[in-house]
Amino acid sequence: MKLGIHLPFLDIDGGTAAISGELARVGAAVENAGISWLSLMDHYFQIEPTGLPAESTMLEAYTTLSYLAAHTSTVELGVLVTGVTYRHPGLLAKIVTTLDVLSGGRAALGLGAAWYEREHRGLGVPFPPLAERFERLEETLQICAQMWDPDNDGPFKGTHYQLAETLCRPQPLQRPRVLIGGGGERKTLRLVARYGDACNLFTTSVEDVARKIEVLRRHCDDLGRDHTEIDVTVTAAFPRPEPDRRDEFVSAMDDYARLGVHTVIVTPTSGTPAAWIDAMAPAVRQLAELG
């Protein structure tokens, strides 16, 4: 099992002026530890499930990932996850391509159906009903796949998006891995089976994750796809792990590793995330020995 880092909290000790320096230190800490994944949230406002107010610090995700690309050299970079409503699909594919090129082939596309109505209303971004958002999610996955096909610059004609040309030059150095967030068993995991390279679930319980993996396998069987082609990742929560309980966290992950979970993603909870990552770093070796 591999270890990933997700950064949902950007209220850095020292205030706004300290953010850039701390993120550079985060990049160094991630590289030194051998961590495989580094992600940000993609939101306009801070989200309520963190327990912080909407007015808390929130940076634009892809700009920040480009900065982190300059301070890293091996870790995969992505968002967990982009709401499908936030950017036009053609622009999104171009943004992820740019990140991939500038990072030396380390970009991933994390994508979901979006849910935070307040930030949409706040910044004037359309927030269609859930069923339509899932339709847009599927079309966006199709558009990104076409944009990253060097032999297909032709049009895309969908219900919600129409592109006269899917021209994307340069192409990514390597096709970005597509991670679809969410554990919805009827729609989301079906989309993972059809389009995804990875999914992301929460560590609600071993039994819950096992059931969702089994649902994903059935969707893959229906499509004639080998489910082992899809990396199952989990975000550790309930409660979030802390460095001073690292051994307990690793022990709890053993059952998930036995289910075939590829990566567990943890979230620094302090205003000095680089130091938090340094303290959690021994978990990289410990997790690699599981399963």
Predicted local distance difference test score (pLDDT) of residue 139: 98
What is the three-class DSSP state of 78? strand
Residue with tokens 């999104």: 92
Which residues in 182-230 belong to E strands, given as ranges?
Answer: 198-202
The string of pLDDT tens digits covering residues 170-226 is 999 999 999 999 999 999 999 999 999 999 999 999 999 999 999 999 999 999 999
Residue pair 110/81 in contact (Cβ under 8 Å)? The answer is: yes
Q: According to the model, what pLDDT value does residue 238 have?
A: 78
Measured between alpha carbons, how far is 182 from 180 in angstroms, rounded to an integer? Answer: 7
Which sequence spans correspond to the domains of the chain? 19-238+258-289
Cis peptide before 192 (omega within 30 of 0): no
User: Does the pLDDT of residue 254 top 80, yes or no?
Assistant: yes
CATH C-level class of 19-238+258-289: alpha beta
Backbone angle region of 260, left / alpha / beta, with phi > 0 → left and psi within -120 to 50 → alpha? left
Per-residue pLDDT reduced to its tens digit, 84-121: 999 999 999 999 999 999 999 999 999 999 999 999 99
Residue 265 scores a pLDDT above 70: yes
| Alpha carbon 111 to its chain's center | 7
Rounded percentage of the chain residues whose pLDDT exceeds 90: 96
Residue of 101, 82, 194 lying closest to 142 (CA atoms):
194
291 band by pLDDT with thresholds 50, 70 and 90: low
237 confidence band (pLDDT: 50, 70, 90): confident
CA distance between the termini of the chain: 7
β pairing state of 162-163 and 156-157? antiparallel
pLDDT mean over 1-11: 96
DSSP assigned state of 85: T
